[in-house]
Amino acid sequence: MFGQKKKRRIFIVNNVNNDIFTFLSAGEIIFGENSLKKLKQKCNSLGMEKPMVVTTLKKTDILPRVKNILGDCVVYDKATPEPKSSQALECLELAKEKACDGFVGVGGGSSLDLAKVTAVIFAFGGRPR
């Protein structure tokens, strides 16, 4: 699956803010208190069957909710502030090993950054610097 020239997908949820709004850039970011309600539908619309969830939110109620919504997903929860290249490579290897087909960043900037860079190297190869 990884070796195929297939468009990789990224969808990011930030459940911290109170207002829901969508920001389009490299992928799509949906913000807001109830943004998790859109998660499964969005993943389905992108063809994600087994997403990699990248997060820093180990000690909150959000991660169990995300896992419950997605069902078959893999979690990388080792993201730290200012993620290192080594974390992207570790996340990448886990995604390949578990046959993930997309990335969902959940949380703040570090999770989103790590999900984005991992999705790029997953789709196009190379190494982060």
Q: Which two tokens stand for residue 54?
A: 């990248």
**CA 108 to chain CA centroid, nearest Å:** 11
- Whole-prediction pTM value? 0.78
Amino acid type, 29: I
pLDDT (0 to 100) of residue 1 = 37
Sorting pLDDT into bands at 50, 70 and 90, what band is 3?
very low
Q: How far is CA 107 from CA 1, 12, 44, 124, in A?
A: 28, 8, 20, 25
| Domains of the chain listed by start with CATH number | 10-124 (3.40.50.1970)
Look at strands 27-31 and 21-25 and give their pairing. antiparallel
Q: What are 25-71's pLDDT values in tens digits?
A: 556 777 777 888 889 998 999 899 999 999 988 888 889 999 999 99
Q: 3-class SS at 23? A: strand
